[in-house]
Structure 1
Amino acid sequence: MWLKSTAAILAVVASLAKAQIDRTGWQITSDSFQPGNEPTNAIDASTTSIFHTEWTPVNVPLPHNLTIDMKKSYNINAVSYLPRQDGNSNGNIGQHQIQLSSDGQIWGSPVVIGTYLDDASLKKSSFVTKPARYVRLIAITEAGNRGPWMSAADINVFAAASYTPPQNSLGRWGPTIDFPIVPAAAAIEHDSGKLLGWSSFAANTFSGGPGGMTQTCTYDPASGVVSKRTISNTNHDMFCPGLSIDATGRPVVTGGNNAEKTSIYDVNADAWIAAANMQISRGYQSQATLSDGRIFTIGGSWSGGQGNKNGEVYNTLSNQWALLSGCPVAPMLTNDAQGVYRADNHAWLFGWKNGSVFQAGPSKAMNWYTTATASGSTKPAGLRGTDADAMCGNSVMYDAVNGKILTAGGSPSYQDSDATTNAYVVTIGNVGNTPTVAQVASMQYARSFANGVVLPNGKVFITGGQARPVPFSDNTAVLAPELFDPATGKFTTLNPMAIARTYHSWALLMPDATVYNGGGGLCGTCTTNHFDAEIYSPSYLFNSDGTLAARPKINTISATTITLGSKLTVTTSSAITSFSLIRYGSATHTVNTDQRRIPLVPLSAGTNTYTLTIPNDAGIAIPGSWMLFAMNSAGVPSVAKTILVKSA
């Protein structure tokens, strides 16, 4: 199966390869230039000459642009921008857009938006292949706010050998969002729908740093603006952490490079808060929010010493961590070739009823952990069918009401071992009971380092990964995502993305029902740093002819804060057939423990008015912030409304 998958991977990669286009005969123009720094300097094959917009006698205001006429059409899939190399940073491009055109008159929606890092390194913006003759790079801001300028030492355009139009029924990728950091972790801000990402102490590497700080960025889908800032007040380098969303919707980040630390992002105040240190220093641990609002963590021998990374629990109200002597890490260890350093990494955890946690993997042995007593307890939950250890695979609770979890892929060891195509549905019930495990149809591609996202309709989107996982490599990267349909138990291969998403990548569902897939790398001067994310729009957002589908709208909701078992009245713009709640997610290193979906059955309460009943179980409706989606008979989802579910 691995060989078959590899052949398919190589075919897709070949079709999307990026070849630099010969610039002979190109014409380049700009809205402004300083004599002696003409636009042609950006395509003259010299990195010592520069293009620069006018600064005297007039400081021409931003935005600025460079427009290239390549004289014939190519299958464009990337643009590179080299800032000036003379030691002066004036004119470095910050916020930007890239547009394409066939005729130089009609410009489509940007294929790239975002912000470049303010340094002299080469920037390369990749995107799904599109035929075009003209390329326009627009500078909206100067990266350091030093003046109203745009400059460039060199610009290149890249093309694929062929172009295959995406199939309308298989979703659509784009645009690409450029970030000024390599985001190895990400979370969604529940109050604004903004994407929060972070790397380490530096924008492009995690090693050799001073510790005590983290580079972050925020992307606002409403404005398209990407901003960057350095977080140092918590004295925490938050690379390779445990990560979950607490009962009030705040991302809680633990360990990593500063292995004992806890930092909390206060979404409402847009501020980071230093919290209590963990009892055990950790990195690569997993953590999950519990039915009572506390947070459970276990594992994490990547940092802070190796072995004995037993369970502990955090009380967000008292700001205290407590060890759980009855929750040892030993039952969930894999048989990794690198030993315990890897064997306790990235547990697949699900908060469940009465303060319990179900551990579905990546070890082939599953376990129940309980936290109701001071010591906690552990009970075996059997094997995950015939699956082997599946490190860096995926597990997604796509139907919390019925305890349904999809597990997919992974590899026996963290690296240098073949990933699998294996997929299972694990159904959990009462705490301590042995779950039901059913093998379903395999994925089309073997994957490790992939990411899984549950969609409003209950289908599960699996994206990225490698057939043979190797950190900081994009070899054997899988560019075509797959969609699991619980109704059929099968996977469908979707349109491929443009950028490999392997080690240190993530994927998250957004309130507009799209998926953002980003990151990968964070390895200094390596060639696999990905300062970006791609947006995937599922097929439910389009008509059969590829035009945008008319979306239903949630007009009003009777409350935005609700308790377990309560009823919610919703009015909509048109008839609705189903609703779902999906908990806001946070993701790093393939792990998104708090993500889960609750299908809701609407009762009609009048024309386009519906009553919904929230489950009366905090193990199903884990307290915290959720996205409420409404779907019409065609399966088209609304933009979500945010609901805070409280346990009492």
Structure 2
Amino acid sequence: MWGNADFNLPVTADSFQAGYPATNAIDGNTATFWHTEYDPTPAQLPHQVVIDLGKRTSINGFNYLPRQDGYPNGNIGQYNLELSTDNKNWNSVSQSTWLDDQSLKLVGFPTTTIRYIRLTAITEAGGRGPWTSAAEFGINQPSTNTNLGQWGPVIAFPLVPAAAFVVPNSGQVLTWSSFLPNGYNGNGNTYTATYDPSSNSVSELDVTTTNHDMFCPGISLDANGRAVVSGGDDADTVSIFSNGWTGAGNLVIPRGYQSQVTCSDGRAFTIGGSWHGPIGGKGGEIYDPNTNSWTLLSGCPVDPMLTADVEGEYRADNHGWLFGWKNGYVFQAGPSIAMNWYGTSQSGSQSAAGNRASDGDSMNGNAVMYDAVGGKILTVGGAPDYDNSPATSNAHIITIGDPNTTPSVQTIGSMSYERAFANSVILPDGTVMVTGGQSLAEPFTDTDAILTPEIWNPATSSFTTVAPHTVPRTYHSVALLMLDGRVFTSGGGMCGDCSTNHADGQIYSPAYLFNANGKLANRPSINSVSSSTLKAGATFTVRTGANSPSFAIIRYGSATHTINTDQRRIALTPTSTKGNAYAFQLPSDSGIVIPGYWMLFVINGNGVPSVASTIQITT
């Protein structure tokens, strides 16, 4: 909860300035604040405040809102948060550093029953003096209703996670911001933070080795599971992550806000991106990992996929919805109403693929290939223009076939909410979760933020709302499927010293992870996989003790600016069964089963997914 239901809770502090007592930080009024003594003699750091909840209470989070009067003095930087049942024995649950801005700070931890909270401010965020201030403190209490899924505690990050990918095999989530933890328009370095779900910990690293500010890039995961990150603030530079960061060959055309996708032969195609570098003319180019070089494809012009954005081509070629497909082709499903095929052989090619039915331009909407074998793509939301533009709740199904043919487009029932800047994630059971966004596309704001996600079921072609999350996830937010079938969300903001920076993450556990009584369901297990390295068309065997199992593979994902070109799902049907051993054959076309790392899930007869095993599809 934000604030406190009882504003008369006992609270003590080591220091306060006359007129700014510690009780101001739990009065439910964001216009008042606690401030340590600065006149006549400033009290020295560290400073400490203890809140007595009055009785033992189960909590899983703590909130800190800095003063909101426009002055930063006293913003807490490095801190230590401790909990106690008796005000004598203390357990530290978080030691980290908060950003120096006015945004709400949230700290999550496993649900704990305590009575006392002690916050120690070790430093002042801007190094301006020895003081500490706070407009409000509050606690989060866990939800007990799991019918609509459940959100975990908010996880503090040392930066705004504006881009992210899941690291193959480890399942860690690597995120980054820019040359600053909360601001952009720099060069030469990138602040990164990695979330490890096994330890629920976050580690940070300032990447300077590639001389690349990776804010607003193109991202794709290649056939070897490496993250290829191109352009952005340093618009012609390319970095690759594989057990560490290294540089790669530069782009031919400097770009930012482009989209990028892995092709059937393992190369990476990118197009658009006039947010950075020269405006216009951002035609396609292709990266060959074997030569570590990019080649311009003169036959892949960007003009056919431009939207009619009021700001012109600076915005009109941003964030293409790209899907690698058969024979090296790429299908562009949006955000323009016009759809296109791009060929990547020789000097490239382009052919029109018709319009997206009743939809219009849908900038900052989503498109996900939820059924790769069927060539089926779900598209949702977006807005006609990038900025100050009403979002839609539109939803369509595009079914693609052979390259250079016109796909079918079906208008389906709308989402419950209009959304731009949302994210969509394919779940192991084949449903699609749409989370975050706002009904008016307005960068760097949380105006009209949508806190209630919804899940689309392909069997019924309908959307169902689920449990709301705590933090707005709008411009510069991400969402990704994790190996355990949960959904990681984070970010929003990236506007320097502003109140809408969200330097945190939160994880959603879908309803399929719970029994009807609200307790966690027993998961099926994958006992063995006959081979973890396979080619398209290969056969393999999975052993599992699950009852009435079904099977699926989902490609590892990467996300920034609503775009995740890597994720797609393939339902697997056994070719034979012998006891607990199930034999499968992968699709024979590498345009369907794109080379790279995939999550293999077993889903039992109750709909509960296993923790995924990882398989690599090679070229």
CA–CA distance in 2 between the matches of 1:114 and 1:358? 46
2:40 is matched with none
CA–CA distance in 1 between the matches of 2:122 and 2:588? 52
Match of residue 93, structure 1, among 73, 79, 87: 79
2:256 is matched with 283
CA contact (8 A) 2:383 2:389 kept: yes
2:188 is matched with 212
Q: TM-score, normalised by structure 1?
A: 0.84
SS of the aligned residue for 1:465 comes to: strand
Q: Deviations over 1:152-187 (max 9, x none)?
A: 765942379xx9956422111112111001111001
Match of residue 574, structure 1, among 536, 546, 552: 546
1:234 is matched with 210
Kindly indicate whether residue 228 of structure 2 is the aligned counterpart of residue 252 of structure 1.
Answer: yes
1:158 is matched with 138
Q: By how many angstroms is 1:371 displaced? A: 0.8
1:454 is matched with 426
Correspondences of 1:180-191 after superposition (within 5 Å): 180-191=158-169
CA–CA distance in 2 between the matches of 1:21 and 1:360? 48
Match of residue 10, structure 2, among 9, 26, 33: 26
2:294 is matched with 321
1:293 is matched with 266
Kindly indicate whether residue 53 of structure 2 is the aligned counterpart of residue 70 of structure 1.
Answer: yes
CA–CA distance in 2 between the matches of 1:215 and 1:132? 35
Q: By how many angstroms is 1:564 displaced? A: 1.2
Correspondences of 1:574-593 after superposition (within 5 Å): 574-593=546-565
Aligned Cα root-mean-square deviation (Å): 3.5
Correspondences of 1:94-133 after superposition (within 5 Å): 115-117=96-98, 124-125=105-106
CA–CA distance in 1 between the matches of 2:474 and 2:534? 38
CA contact (8 A) 2:398 2:407 kept: yes
SS of the aligned residue for 1:451 comes to: strand
Q: By how many angstroms is 1:70 displaced? A: 2.6
Q: By how many angstroms is 1:275 displaced? A: 0.4
CA–CA distance in 2 between the matches of 1:87 and 1:637? 47
2:386 is matched with 414
1:45 is matched with 34
Q: Deviations over 1:460-481 (max 9, x none)?
A: 0000001001000001000000
CA contact (8 A) 1:451 1:464 kept: yes
Q: By how many angstroms is 1:191 displaced? A: 2.5
SS of the aligned residue for 1:168 comes to: coil
Q: By how many angstroms is 1:603 displaced? A: 4.4
Percent sequence identity over aligned pairs: 49
Q: By how many angstroms is 1:319 displaced? A: 0.7
CA contact (8 A) 2:486 2:509 kept: yes
Kindly indicate whether residue 480 of structure 2 is the aligned counterpart of residue 496 of structure 1.
Answer: no
CA contact (8 A) 1:384 1:437 kept: yes
Q: 1:137 to 1:428 in 2, by over 3 A?
A: farther
2:30 is matched with none
CA–CA distance in 1 between the matches of 2:137 and 2:75? 24
Correspondences of 1:416-431 after superposition (within 5 Å): 416-431=388-403
CA contact (8 A) 1:394 1:452 kept: yes
CA–CA distance in 2 between the matches of 1:264 and 1:493? 37
> Where in structure 1 are there 5+ consecutive unaligned residues?
1-15, 35-39, 54-64, 145-150
CA contact (8 A) 1:506 1:588 kept: yes
Q: Deviations over 1:397-416 (max 9, x none)?
A: 00101001000000000111
CA–CA distance in 1 between the matches of 2:11 and 2:484? 39
**Matched residue type, 1:158:** G
1:393 is matched with 365
Q: Deviations over 1:413-441 (max 9, x none)?
A: 01111100100000011111111111111
Kindly indicate whether residue 58 of structure 2 is the aligned counterpart of residue 80 of structure 1.
Answer: no
SS of the aligned residue for 2:78 comes to: coil
Match of residue 348, structure 2, among 348, 355, 376: 376
Q: 1:104 to 1:256 in 2, by over 3 A?
A: same
1:641 is matched with 613
SS of the aligned residue for 1:202 comes to: coil
**Matched residue type, 1:636:** V
CA contact (8 A) 1:114 1:226 kept: no
1:347 is matched with 320
2:178 is matched with 200
Kindly indicate whether residue 469 of structure 2 is the aligned counterpart of residue 485 of structure 1.
Answer: no
Q: By how many angstroms is 1:606 displaced? A: 2.7
Q: Deviations over 1:67-86 (max 9, x none)?
A: 63232699987521879x99
Q: 1:452 to 1:154 in 2, by over 3 A?
A: same
**Matched residue type, 1:259:** A
CA contact (8 A) 2:103 2:498 kept: no
**Matched residue type, 1:413:** D
CA contact (8 A) 1:577 1:602 kept: no
**Matched residue type, 1:68:** I
CA–CA distance in 2 between the matches of 1:557 and 1:530? 40
Kindly indicate whether residue 377 of structure 2 is the aligned counterpart of residue 405 of structure 1.
Answer: yes
2:278 is matched with 305
**Matched residue type, 1:125:** L
CA contact (8 A) 2:263 2:591 kept: yes
2:151 is matched with 173
1:526 is matched with 498
CA contact (8 A) 2:83 2:114 kept: no
SS of the aligned residue for 1:450 comes to: strand
Q: Deviations over 1:179-226 (max 9, x none)?
A: 00111100111121111000000011113x3x1100001111111121
CA–CA distance in 2 between the matches of 1:265 and 1:323? 23
1:62 is matched with none
Q: By how many angstroms is 1:305 displaced? A: 1.3
CA contact (8 A) 1:92 1:118 kept: no
SS of the aligned residue for 2:314 comes to: helix
CA contact (8 A) 1:21 1:158 kept: no
CA contact (8 A) 2:258 2:317 kept: yes
Q: 1:360 to 1:419 in 2, by over 3 A?
A: same
CA contact (8 A) 1:180 1:203 kept: yes
Match of residue 517, structure 2, among 545, 563, 579: 545
CA–CA distance in 1 between the matches of 2:499 and 2:174? 24
Q: 1:277 to 1:490 in 2, by over 3 A?
A: same
Q: Deviations over 1:550-586 (max 9, x none)?
A: 1001111111111111111111233242111100000
CA contact (8 A) 1:113 1:175 kept: no
**Matched residue type, 2:257:** Y
Report the number of matched residues.
590
CA–CA distance in 2 between the matches of 1:572 and 1:50? 61
